């Protein structure tokens, strides 16, 4: 819990120092959720565990859920509230709390956790909460950093993260994330323009090159500011999913995304 609190406070420095609104495009939001689509959300009670500044929730409300609830342990709940207040909807709620301890009485039709489990001290505790808070017959969906395809990040960026996540956030943002993301910005544009598909992070670079430099820096800062990150392999996710008696085993999926991350989920019995 103490480690997760430190992580959440670090993320709040990222989320609370951004322009208002979602950092993601609607197309990115749809891609993160697929195979879940609008028809799965209409009139449903939806829960996001680890909602940051509500960048996903502001898009999700356009899919007309009955109600959307977001939980985060950090002060990013302040920018989440502001971003949602600017939407045309009022069927949402933001709760400040530890997602691993959260136990809803009514349970939710859909529970998702995107970009969060790999930052928890005990990622499986986060998945337990995702599944515990899903109704019988409901669906859950998660996205995590993959071990596969992230060798360059694991051996270059992650050692830097372990050092700079102890520094003042603006040192990390302006003196470390800015120059590093500029180098990666040049690399990503170079390899994608020349179709160098054998180069590391090619698919991911194709995805992120649709965005401007500020988004590159946001992603780099997000990776560097957090004291806790693990990279998760497919076998671990498959074993996690198999370990739940209350998950329909023939409903589960594990999908490789952008060559360096996993989306996975299923239906609760």
Ligand X SMILES: C[S@@+](CC[C@H](N)C(=O)[O-])C[C@H]1O[C@@H](n2cnc3c(N)ncnc32)[C@H](O)[C@@H]1O
Which parts of 210-251 fold into alpha helices (H)? 213-225, 234-242
Residue of 18, 58, 98, 208 that binds ligand X (CB under 6 A):
98
Distance CA 234, CA 256 (A): 9
Q: 37: part of which helix (H) or strand (E)?
A: none
d(CA 112, CA 196): 34
Q: Which residues contact 202 (CB under 8 A, 6 or more apart)?
A: 191, 192, 196, 259
| Strands 134-145 and 108-114, bridge-based pairing | parallel
Q: Which residue is nearest to ligand X (CB)?
A: 52
Q: Which two tokens stand for residue 69?
A: 């609830």
The residues, ordered by sequence, that sit 6+ positions from 186 with a Cβ below 8 Å of its Cβ are none
Sheet containing 253-257: which strands, arranged edge to edge?
92-96, 67-72, 45-49, 108-114, 134-145, 261-267, 253-257
Smallest distance from ligand X to CB 63, Å: 16
Choosing from 46, 47, 99, 127, the residue that interacts with ligand X (CB under 6 A) is 99
Nearer CB in complex with ligand X: 58/191: 58
By rule CB under 6 A, what count of residues binds ligand X? 23
Q: How far is the CB of 163 from ligand X (least distance, A)?
A: 20
Q: What minimum distance in Å lies between the beta carbon of 197 and ligand X?
A: 27
Which residue in 60, 116, 127, 188 binds ligand X (CB under 6 A)? 116
Return the number of the residue (192 or 260) whose C-beta is nearest ligand X. Answer: 260
CA 67 to chain centre: 20
Q: Which is nearer to ligand X, 11 or 92 (CB)?
A: 11
115 near ligand X, rule: CB under 6 A = yes
Query: Least CB distance from residue 8 to ligand X, whole Å?
Result: 3
| CB distance 227 to 117 below 8 Å | no
**Contact pick of 45, 69, 79, 100 for ligand X (by CB under 6 A):** 100
Binding to ligand X (CB under 6 A) within 30-89 occurs at 50-52, 55-56, 71-74, 76
Positions in 229-248 near ligand X (CB under 6 A):
none
Is residue 144 close enough to count as binding ligand X by CB under 6 A? no
Query: Residues in the site for ligand X, rule: CB under 6 A?
Result: 4, 7-8, 11, 50-52, 55-56, 71-74, 76, 98-100, 114-116, 119-120, 222
């Amino acid at each position: 819990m103490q480690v997760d609190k430190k992580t959440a406070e670090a993320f709040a420095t990222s989320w609370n120092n951004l322009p208002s609104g979602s950092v993601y495009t609607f197309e990115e939001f749809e891609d993160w959720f697929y195979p879940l689509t609008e028809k799965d959300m209409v009139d449903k009670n939806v829960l996001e565990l680890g909602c940051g500044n509500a960048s996903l929730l502001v898009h999700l409300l356009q899919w007309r859920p009955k109600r959307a609830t977001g939980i985060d342990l950090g002060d990013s709940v302040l920018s989440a509230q502001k971003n949602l207040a600017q939407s045309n909807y009022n069927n949402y709620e933001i709760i400040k709390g530890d997602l691993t301890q959260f136990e809803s009485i009514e349970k939710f039709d859909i529970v998702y956790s995107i970009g969060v489990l790999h930052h928890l001290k005990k990622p499986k505790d986060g998945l337990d909460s995702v599944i515990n808070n899903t109704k019988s017959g409901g669906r859950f969906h998660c996205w995590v950093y993959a071990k596969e395809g992230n060798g360059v990040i694991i051996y270059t960026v992650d050692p830097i993260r372990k050092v700079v996540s102890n520094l003042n956030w603006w040192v990390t943002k302006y003196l470390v994330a800015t120059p590093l993301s500029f180098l990666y910005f040049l690399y990503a544009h170079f390899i994608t323009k020349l179709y160098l598909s054998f180069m590391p992070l090619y698919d991911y670079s194709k995805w992120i090159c649709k965005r401007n430099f500020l988004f590159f820096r946001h992603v780099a800062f997000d990776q560097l500011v957090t004291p806790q990150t693990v990279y998760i392999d497919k076998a671990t996710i498959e074993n996690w999913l198999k370990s739940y008696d209350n998950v329909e085993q023939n409903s589960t999926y594990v999908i490789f995304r952008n060559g360096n991350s996993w989306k996975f989920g299923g239906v609760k019995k």
